[in-house]
Amino acid sequence: MPSDTRRTPWIKRRSRLITSTLVGLLVTVLTVYQVTLDPPGLHPRVLTIAAASTTLLVDLHQSDITDLTPSADQLGGLATQADLLGEVMVTDPVLDDIGRLIDIPASKIQADAPVTSNVPRDIIEPDSGANAMQLIASPDQYKLQVQVDPTTPVIHIYTQAPSVAAALQLASASVQGLRDYLSQLSAARGVAPTNEIRLVELGAPTGGVVNSHAEIEIGLLAFITGFAAALFAISVFPRVRRGWRLATLEAQVPR
């Protein structure tokens, strides 16, 4: 009898640990995978964030940049144009065109207003896109961020998407969308070709995955959260229930 009495607390603790582990594993599976009923199955969630970037030089068809002796006023005027074009890139008409080019609704593109390149700002960082819960809630999020050089007519474009291919496509579509908008605007206003703004892309967009260990990190966080919550509930709830019963019994005892 004494031996059984000593083993009872250990058995209870082991049962709690097993139950909490199973709950943690269940939470992990539901976090990392998407459950479907028709057809029944588990499908991995998109939890990675990919980033890409490209750079634009703003110039005129009758180029000021290639002039061997451009004046400060010419460069200043083009720098002002670059700042304006950065603002135009994140407007609804251009975003609609960008979304059409990559076959997604423009509402899925989170576009930030341009900032000058001398303002400290994290653009392509593993945790800049979203935290773990945001990734699970909106795995198909697309981001477009623009930096404009304050002294030269250069626009830096940064994108984020669920895959490297999608991030590269978004960067390319951002350039093409702005070009299309400027062409339509020039045609509507009858701007002479020699006076049109020219966007020169300085090389092809480059990109890569910025949180390659997202599945492991989010899965581990989900397991720890589920395990801790289950263990807390299993350990505390019986004590709370016993406290309620004792309080009820005490209230029923005549005084």
- Whose structure tokens read 């070009």? 179
pLDDT exceeds cutoff 60 at 32: yes
Q: Tell which residue, 167, 239, 242, 178, has the closest CA to residue 205.
A: 167
Sole residue written with tokens 């045609």: 187
Q: Locate the domains of the chain by residue range.
A: 2-44+213-252, 50-209
Q: pLDDT of 97-156, one tens digit each?
A: 999 999 999 989 988 877 654 444 444 443 444 444 444 445 567 899 998 888 888 899
Task: Give me the chain's average pLDDT, please.
Answer: 76
Give the integer Cα–Cα distance in Å for 130 and 132: 7
pTM: 0.62
Mean pLDDT across the stretch 17-45? 79
Range of weakest confidence among 24-33, 211-220, 245-254: 245-254
Please check the confidence at residue 14 and state whether its pLDDT lies above 60: yes
